[in-house]
Structure 1
Amino acid sequence: MTSSPTAHTSEPQGTAGAHTGADALADGLRAAVAQSFDQTLAHLKDLVAIPGIAWPSFDRAPLERSAEAVAGLLRGAGLEDVQTLSCAKPDGTPGGPAVVARRPAAPGKPTILLYAHHDVQPAGDEALWDTSPFTAVEKDGRLYGRGAADDKAGIMAHLAAYAAVAGVLGDRLGLGVTFFFEGEEEAGSPTFRPFLEANRELLRADVIVVADSSNWKVGIPALTTSLRGLVDGTIEVQVLEHAVHSGMYGGPVLDAPTLLARLIATLHDDDGNVAIEGLVARDTASVDLPEADYRADASVLDGVRLAGSGSIASRLWTKPALSIIGFDAPAVDVASNTLLPRARAKFSLRLAPGQDPDAAMDAVRRHVESHAPFGARVTFTPGESGNPFQTDTASPAARMAMWALGEAWGVPAVETGIGGSIPFIADLMELYPEVQILVTGVEDPDSRAHSANESLDLGDFRNAIVAEALLLARLNSDGL
């Protein structure tokens, strides 16, 4: 292992074949990860079997079991200070159970906080799964199951990396390590901010690793250096006081679903770019994604033209993207010949780094109100919002992370953006303004998080553990 934090591959220095102390440490960490990998995988399979879903409409008992299982794994890794904590939601109901464990730092050593979440998305239509969603199945080098990638693999990567470092370094480990495994991320982290405020000192750290992102592709690691923000809300169109017979009254007035469709059509230009004035958009991605790869990863049908302009990576990372994710109208099977008086849609707008969410929400409001078709009554209701994020890639922690990823995979790591959002990162940055935040992950373009047949590449999983172990060891020896 070289000493430069910008090196991406292991090239011993000095006499050919000579082993430095750093090389020996890296070899020891790799061996420790390999020796315990079967057990790590078994623990991950056990976690996948627990359908811990934080949505209010689901039974909370499995979520509590999930937290208990994670707490047990932390104690099994030698952590003595393990707590299960939660905060109440605004309506008084309990938030998702978070599991926090701490190993205090030795004098003069930094503290790193390792974040992941143990709650998962619902399985959805199980008929779309090739395997039972809550039974982990290995097939062709991948592990299938809900949460196998998002984000129970993140939990096990943190635990396995820590166990390897603690086992190899023993008493030489002075780095402070805090584990924070959230229990409501997939429900939008409704109590994240009050939880941070209530436990501000407990969670204070110099570096935070958020293991909830993706690598560039199988075999090529990535550090996520930007995330888009998010605003959402609903748009309702009303044209009548009440429904009327389409044969008796149709023609002079258009029904609400038709007018809502016309309004939605104004949200993009003819090329598919978001057409809302005042939004930040940049064509500045440093790497690009080939169109063929994007089409394959996103399962785009043959003949469908891609939307937008600029590089595909910029369209994914540094430009806004707007989707209609819900539509209230009668189902086709129960539709009658009626002019519907009102229709409602929910939009989701991903924001480019540098975009203020409040300004974006106002921009959407102005657009829909000024484009009311045929004078229809338009009601705009704002929803949730979250800030975008951009890493300081010159920070010591970021340079160490890029080095560790390259060492673990044996190929240069790349800096990528992610089109998705992790809104709580803005809360972390606000409460801990000096902290260095690293966004990593174990997913790849075929992991299908939130979808049927979610899966994890086991080779990349092992490499992710090695990379984090190298990062922890480097922080322990060099500090910040």
Structure 2
Amino acid sequence: MTDTSDLAARAAALMPEVIERLEALVRIPSVAFPGFDPAPVHEMGQAVVDLFTAAGATDVALLDVPDGYPCVYADLPGPEGSPTVLLYAHYDVQPAPKEQGWTSEPFEPVTKDDGRIYGRGAADDKSGLVMHYGTLKLLGPDRPCRIKLLVEGEEETISHLEAFVEANPERFAADAYVIGDIGPQEVGKPGLTTALRGDVACTVTVRTLANPVHSGLFGGAAPDALTAMIRILDTLHDEHGDTVFPGVDGVGASWPGAEMDEQVYRDGSAILPGVEFLGTGSLSDRLWAKPSVTVLGMDVPNTQEASNVLLPQVTAKLSMRIVPGSDGEGQLEALMTHLRSQRPWNVEVEVERVKVGHAFAVDESHPAIVAAEGALEEAYGAPVELIGSGASIPLVASLQKVSPGAAIILWGAEDTAKARIHASDESVDPKEIERMIVAQTRFIQKLAAR
């Protein structure tokens, strides 16, 4: 029996316990957004400490993160001279408002006819927590290398962990970082993410009047702020839907790895029949290699509250996914400069920074990346796709600062096709968790053997 087949058998035997623990974690509504009850977030932090203690980890602790929720940390020794692998996940989740259209209670996990486990955080990222749990259980006390655990409590909101990590480089140094907070295109189709688009964000406020005025008496000459805002936002895309403005990187870029499966994308994006895709180039180009700007929200009256007045002020929040290899600070400044320059009818425009999440690209020749790809192929029994992601994981940039020569392994059980992370009816396939426990364990064995 090979190492991988033995691991697969042990992982299968462990899965009833893994599922039970996942369901217990999903029941904790650990939303770390401002305005939400902090008690469940703290409860979840302790639950993660208990989870890894049950997996055999010693001295698992909650570390205070200045201005934020605590992170879970452990440093598990291995043989002298062995490499250090840090396993990362997060224990907070997105909100789950009823208006999203949930067909079951978001914080009461349920296994439906398709075999998937439904509930907020079931995939993002409590699947990552039990994946790490299963890995520690399979490795047992005789770990082949030193393993560190790092689980944060506010990845879904404005995280304070990056500054804490950078201020404590020795504590978080490693030879390889495993980010268990992403996934393949489809269940059973192994994917290793080799690039992340970064995420920069700002707000833009347009002012035209000192106060609201009657649209019948004054409309037609006095500009309303919403019309001006629409004109400004329209300058961010060309006629094809590509994000194009002065200073933005990657307009004509192409993706060198695997192709995004169009049916997977259509199913996952829930795009309506007949609605056309934005932009030009392949789907992989548009999703993983080119920039894209999105209007996330706008402060305007809803239709029920709307009255016959010209709006004097409107604020919009924008997010732009930036291409791998680009400078996050520079790209945010280019976006903000462009917005400030757009002043139809000489309206007042104010632009404010929100955040910078840096883009990331993997060195595919790194021995740890080669080991990870080999471990995935063994666990799945199929060729590995090298894919990208439009997601942004801000901590990656901080980990690179702490250990510049370390590898960053990006994988997990959050499949693009059906997981619906951040949306209603979020779910995870237990078989994907099982395969990833095998892959992750095998990766650690392979890396230690080098």
The aligned runs of 1:335-414 (5 Å cut-off) are: 335-414=306-385
Q: In the alignment, what sits opposite 1:460?
A: 432
Matched, 1:181 2:151: yes
The aligned runs of 1:250-261 (5 Å cut-off) are: 250-261=219-230
Distance (Å, rounded) in 2 between the aligned partners of 1:163 and 1:403: 21
Matched, 1:37 2:15: yes
Q: 1:94-150 deviations in whole A, cap 9, x for unaligned?
A: x11211122112211111000001111111226711111111111112110111000
Q: 1:217-241 deviations in whole A, cap 9, x for unaligned?
A: 1210111100001111111111112
Q: In the alignment, what sits opposite 2:24?
A: 46
Q: Which runs of 4+ in 1 moved over 6 A?
A: none
Kept in 1: contact 2:29–2:93 (CA 8 A): yes
1:219 maps to which of 156, 181, 188: 188
Distance (Å, rounded) in 2 between the aligned partners of 1:290 and 1:54: 33
Does the residue aligned with 1:213 lie in a helix, a strand or coil? coil
How big is the alpha-carbon RMSD for the aligned residues of Structure 1 and Structure 2? 1.4
Q: In the alignment, what sits opposite 1:232?
A: 201
Distance (Å, rounded) in 1 between the aligned partners of 2:137 and 2:168: 25
TM-score normalised according to structure 1 size: 0.90
Q: In the alignment, what sits opposite 2:419?
A: 447
Q: In the alignment, what sits opposite 2:211?
A: 242
Distance (Å, rounded) in 2 between the aligned partners of 1:290 and 1:27: 29
Residue 198 of structure 1, CA deviation: 4.4
Fraction of identical pairs, as percent: 39
Distance (Å, rounded) in 2 between the aligned partners of 1:464 and 1:470: 10
Distance (Å, rounded) in 2 between the aligned partners of 1:74 and 1:362: 42
Does the residue aligned with 1:441 lie in a helix, a strand or coil? coil
Q: In the alignment, what sits opposite 1:470?
A: 442
Kept in 1: contact 2:166–2:398 (CA 8 A): no
TM-score normalised according to structure 2 size: 0.96
1:277 maps to which of 240, 246, 253: 246
Matched, 1:134 2:107: yes
1:125 maps to which of 95, 98, 102: 98
Matched, 1:145 2:119: yes
**Which amino acid in 2 is paired with 1:230?**
D
Q: 1:175-205 deviations in whole A, cap 9, x for unaligned?
A: 111111111111131x112321344322221
2:89 maps to which of 106, 111, 116: 116
**Which amino acid in 2 is paired with 1:187?**
T
**Which amino acid in 2 is paired with 1:201?**
E
Bigger Rg over Cα: 1
Q: Which runs of 5+ in 2 are unaligned?
A: none
**Which amino acid in 2 is paired with 1:128?**
G
Q: In the alignment, what sits opposite 1:435?
A: 406
Kept in 1: contact 2:202–2:336 (CA 8 A): no
Distance (Å, rounded) in 2 between the aligned partners of 1:112 and 1:407: 20
**Which amino acid in 1 is paired with 2:102?**
W
Kept in 2: contact 1:126–1:133 (CA 8 A): no
Residue 285 of structure 1, CA deviation: 3.7
Kept in 2: contact 1:232–1:384 (CA 8 A): yes
Q: In the alignment, what sits opposite 2:298?
A: 327
Distance (Å, rounded) in 1 between the aligned partners of 2:305 and 2:8: 60
Go from structure 1 to structure 2 and tell me whether the alpha carbon gap of 1:436 and 1:350 turns closer, same or farther (over 3 Å shift). Answer: same
Q: In the alignment, what sits opposite 1:105?
A: 78
Does the residue aligned with 2:103 lie in a helix, a strand or coil? coil
The aligned runs of 1:25-104 (5 Å cut-off) are: 25-89=3-67, 95-104=68-77
Distance (Å, rounded) in 2 between the aligned partners of 1:297 and 1:82: 37
Kept in 1: contact 2:198–2:321 (CA 8 A): yes
Does the residue aligned with 2:304 lie in a helix, a strand or coil? helix
Kept in 1: contact 2:73–2:148 (CA 8 A): yes
Residue 344 of structure 1, CA deviation: 1.2
Residue 290 of structure 1, CA deviation: 4.0
Q: Which runs of 5+ in 1 are unaligned?
A: 1-18, 90-94
Q: In the alignment, what sits opposite 1:6?
A: none
Residue 60 of structure 1, CA deviation: 0.9
Q: In the alignment, what sits opposite 1:309?
A: 280
The aligned runs of 1:406-425 (5 Å cut-off) are: 406-425=377-396
Does the residue aligned with 2:410 lie in a helix, a strand or coil? strand
Residue 162 of structure 1, CA deviation: 1.7
**Which amino acid in 2 is paired with 1:50?**
I
